[in-house]
Structure 1
């Protein structure tokens, strides 16, 4: 054994999307951080599709940025197509998505991590987490190096006992080209963690020179490109913007897949892990949606300096000869060459029900888990967890209170609360439908919701905080001005009639008139020049705040009720087996989850309002007084 000469405050295991955010956050907060990764050349690698954001995922990226994280800045610098999704729907479900130059994104993150103050990066495979008296004190690598530390953040992605499947061929790997981490999974099991098995997959990569684009539907990004970071609003991306293309599977494709079902590791039981229900492989889609005549495929360029194309929509683990036939049955891909085969990968994960909202494990002090090890899928979900885990690892070392977000504050809060309250037995993916208060948790207002918190933590700079305060003040001032401006019928009725809106009979405020869905702010700007001088992001806030004022008020009232329940914090050592009136099933669930509040207890599947009442009665008899926990 060789003990390294320096002790670190925080050790991060893994340098994917979660590990990078965790390391940068902890270092920014003053900790000496060591990042250990199996392959230094794959820091920040996009193992699956070359894209960031999308429905609900874009919300997470904006929240990461508002709190002071890195992902939004990285994609803004390396994006080659930006689009706003769901633009015809309400503001709650609009989201940004960007295609990345995969290699430039990876290079950006590698440079950012390696050059960050107080961050040391080393190539190593961690075999053991060293624990004494249920508290972390170090890690041991496969070659016998020991690094002492006060806190450890595990962000291993798909590497824990990773097993790749291509047809009946399978081999150990964390991803294609990288070895798995086997002993660390055993170590976690020995420490008492419940380990499960999940599966995910990726598409074959195609040679773009062999694709007939003339047969395909072209899809360009938006003009101007909608960037992610609030620091980049109004700017243009530095890289050239390129199109994607759309094609579809067909009946011949489906026949090829159905004929190969006896050679599929997914359908023959070779793959034991549970796959993502919301992102199924193409063979899964063909059988689950047998009535569908075709499935859409997005041909996404992997970068500006490569011929590789990612056919998003045909993730598969079928044998390579079937992949050849399947790909060449698709319009525009009749002569396409596969550069890298698609594959499925099985890997171990830790049931996240064993975590606190800070992402620290309940049983081992100073040990934090983030990313796919917690049962999630997606770069964005991983990065969001990494940021929270990195903040809390630093707070743990510095003996500060944990930083947590609740369901009314952020999608990050929804994500983590879902994981630690309900656990998961399939890869968890974020959706807008998971957020009860999604009208208030929009992409466009993530900075207004979270920048203050990021500044208080220490991740948001003084300069950025000053700009945020200026924006917030401007929005408040304009809204007040709109309420003050009263318009007589003769002043506004001609415009109302032209827009097909009912005329007014007495004076009304401009704010009330703007509430009408048929009156766009764009028309009001033509009349009131002070609005014309405002930036687009502020105008967007003004329009949403006016048009959805009634809905926002109702949702704020719902949040107040939610927070009353969340404020009722439960004793950490509460013995549910002593509480009369609870069923055995409910006692078992409460004991396992150890909810921090009555609100969280209510969200545990099977815990009834009657059970909550029984807990309240029991505690009140013992002098319990709930106290609100603040961030």
Structure 2
């Protein structure tokens, strides 16, 4: 099996590893996925959900680029919600509860049906180098496997350490051993390594809960889906989630365990995710707050296992037990397993290029939590991009780098490479300065043409996108050119408490009014007739409505993005010596030397590099 050299070896079978292996194999590369457990491919280690604020946009982008995450989520979802619908479309974020067991099963099935992809179960505990180039890996059985490129997606397994109260033991996830050897080999090669921490809440028996004391949280009445492919369908039936609250009494009981908490007694020295804190961290940091939300999430269609979202903790098991029993509905709770914290190695991502190849070692790529991120979606996006760029590298082709105005994935990777991170990085809509352009509804329009060029999207898929764009343009043209008379539209306007018109007016201007939505416009016979004749579906109506109502904002962001593109075109020579540019501040020289930005635009986003430093560089580059 290992006599020949692989094009790509992917180390780790989580969300990053799955997308990396799928992308590489689908681009024609002979790929090997090595994982410590074939039974746990794409395991949902934490909450049984995909998407959410900004994360949902990433899943849509992965799907538009030919990744598997959106398809698997649609096939295994038990509930779907579009978050932030009360806000503008730039903030709308899809989220789905998943059947955790079926999710992993579906992922494995799809990977096994992918041509040119081999599997091997073993631990990689050594890396093979030829000077500053990686040439393969060594497993715990002493087997050496050669490859042209290697992608490491080790998640929380690198020297993983699990904490529950005053108990500590090695592990990459509950019930699974940690991975050793890789960090040590990389540090010997001069890489900087660090430690991060994340945590997970208890899993409990749903049969022991009283849901009548909780607030039901049903899915959307008309659920959508993640994948743009017609092969997946929206949910017909859904499972509800529930919500409860902690109280002062719960907080006091939790505080009794603080002296045995690894977070507070100094045993955990690494930093955890700021936006997903443990329950003990929440009651310590927000001491004045009398209660916190607890989301009660089923783990699947048939299982009774429940995920207690909002109660992430590493407190001793007896404290977890006493405190959770005081939460309404949990009085008779039975634990499947206690919450725990996990510490693991990561490598500051400023050591990477935008392709996710390491600067220090050629043909070696990092993706996922090894880069300091948190979340399935962020990991999957990095895996896909690493897989694509590894193959392009082998083929001697131009790398595939998404700009900040092209995708949330572009924002994610640029933030990591340019700014680095000292705490687990999570994507938010606020991190994207062009979020009106980067909506979840138009990811296919933005990215599927690029996926087609890479060989990750079929001609049929591209044709669907072209048809969507053409019909949207046609609908916008119709609204721009068609007038409506006062006697036709005024009854509708008056019913919506917006000013009537005194003379005929173009439909585009009427439809742009914030008081109206397109269900109001469709009451006009001319509009409904146009929709029927041209077979305009929901997606196209949504695209058109967003275009009409937000045309000014979209145009403004496009202009800003054009300015960004001009700076992106001003490249900086490789290994540029910033010490020679005496007009730069000392901090700028240090930061620029460390990060080695490839364009002026990237340089401008580095913390500590001022606008005056950028002006100096522009002059130096002849601009």
- TM-score, shorter chain, exceeding 0.5: yes
Unpaired runs of 5+ residues, structure 1, are 626-631
State the shift of 1:279 in Å.
0.3
Paired position in structure 2 for 1:408: 405
Take 1:470 and 1:135, find their aligned partners in 2: how far apart are those partners?
45
Q: In the alignment, is residue 588 of structure 1 matched against residue 590 of structure 2? A: yes
Name the counterpart of 2:464.
467
Change (3 A) 1:234 1:338: closer
- Alignment match, 1:525: 522
Aligned partner (choices 321, 324, 329) of residue 324 of structure 1:
321
Asked if the contact 2:511/2:549 (under 8 Å) is kept, the reply is: yes
Shift of 1:234: 8.8
Aligned-residue offset at 1:232: 4.0
Name the CA distance, whole Å, in 2 between partners of 1:114 and 1:423: 35
Q: TM-score, normalised by structure 2?
A: 0.97
2:334 to 320, 337, 346: 337
Q: Which deviates further from its counterpart, 428-437 or 557-566?
A: 557-566
Counterpart among 582, 605, 608 of residue 607 in structure 2: 605
Q: Does 1:313 align with 2:310?
A: yes
Whole-Å Cα distance in 1 between the matches of residues 261 and 493 of structure 2?
62
Aligned residue-pair number: 618
Q: Distance in 2 between matches of 1:160 and 1:175?
A: 11
Asked whether the 8 Å contact 1:577–1:587 carries over to 2, the reply is: yes
Task: For residue 509 of structure 1, report the CA deviation from its aligned partner.
Answer: 1.4
1:377 alignment counterpart: 374
Give me the CA root mean square deviation. Answer: 1.4
Alignment of 1:105-116 (within 5 A): 105-116=103-114
**Corresponding residue for 2:91?**
93
The residue number in structure 2 matching 1:449 is 446
Shift of 1:564: 1.1
For residues 520-577 of structure 1, give each alpha carbon's deviation from its aligned partner in whole angstroms, at most 9, with x where no partner exists: 2111112122235521111111111001111111111111111111111111121101
Partner Cα separation in structure 2 for residue 112 and residue 488 of structure 1: 55
Contact 1:227 1:233 in 2 (8 A): no
Q: Is the 8 A contact 1:67 1:454 kept in 2?
A: yes
Which residue of 41, 44, 47 maps to 1:46?
A: 44
Contact 1:580–1:614 at 8 Å: present in 2 too?
Answer: no
Shift of 1:236: 2.9
- Separation (CA, whole Å) in 2 of partners of 1:511 and 1:440: 20
Which secondary structure does the structure 1 equivalent of 2:90 belong to?
helix
When structure 1 is superposed on structure 2, of 572-581 and 151-160 the one drifting more is 572-581
Residue 526 of structure 1 aligns to a residue in which SS?
Answer: coil
How far the C-alpha of 1:391 sits from its partner, in A, is 0.3
Name the SS for the 2:157 alignment partner. Answer: coil
Q: Say whether the 8 Å CA contact 2:79–2:235 is kept in structure 1.
A: no
Residue equivalent to 2:152 = 154
| Residue 270 (1) aligns with residue 267 (2) | yes
Q: Contact (CA 8 Å) 2:411, 2:432: kept in 1 or not?
A: yes
Whole-angstrom CA distance in 1 between matches of 2:262 and 2:230: 45
CA–CA distance in 2 between the matches of 1:121 and 1:353?
31
Q: Does structure 1 retain, via aligned residues, the 8 Å contact 2:9–2:32? A: yes
Instruction: Please say if residues 71 and 232 of structure 2, whose CA atoms lie closer than 8 Å, have aligned partners that are also in contact.
Output: no
Structure-to-structure mapping, 1:142-541, within 5 angstroms: 142-232=140-230, 235-237=233-235, 240-527=237-524, 528-529=527-528, 530-531=530-531, 533-541=535-543
* Aligned mates of 1:490, 1:377 — CA distance in 2: 56
Map 1:54-93 to 2 at 5 A. Answer: 54-93=52-91
Would the aligned equivalents of 2:603 and 2:614 in 1 still touch at CA under 8 Å? yes
Contact 2:152 2:365 in 1 (8 A): yes
Aligned to 2:558: 556
Distance in 2 separating the partners of 1:573 and 1:275? 34
CA contact (8 A) 1:351 1:374 kept: yes
The ranges of structure 1 where at least 4 consecutive aligned residues each deviate by more than 4 angstroms after the TM superposition are none
1:67-106 deviation line (CA, Å, top 9, x unaligned): 1110000010000011111111111111111111000000
1:224 shift after superposition = 2.4
Q: Is the Cα–Cα contact under 8 Å of residues 74 and 232 in structure 2 kept in the other structure? A: no
Secondary structure of 2:440's match?
A: coil
Deviation at 1:42, TM superposition (A): 0.7
Deviates more, 1:7-16 or 1:122-131: 122-131
Separation of aligned partners in 2, 1:68 and 1:38: 26
Change beyond 3 A, Cα 1:157–1:400 = same
User: 2:496 and 2:98 mapped to 1: Cα distance?
Assistant: 41
User: Counterpart of 1:237 in 2: which secondary structure?
Assistant: coil
Which has the larger displacement, 216-225 or 253-262? 216-225
SS at match of 1:445: helix
Cα distance in 2 for residues equivalent to 1:21 and 1:545: 32
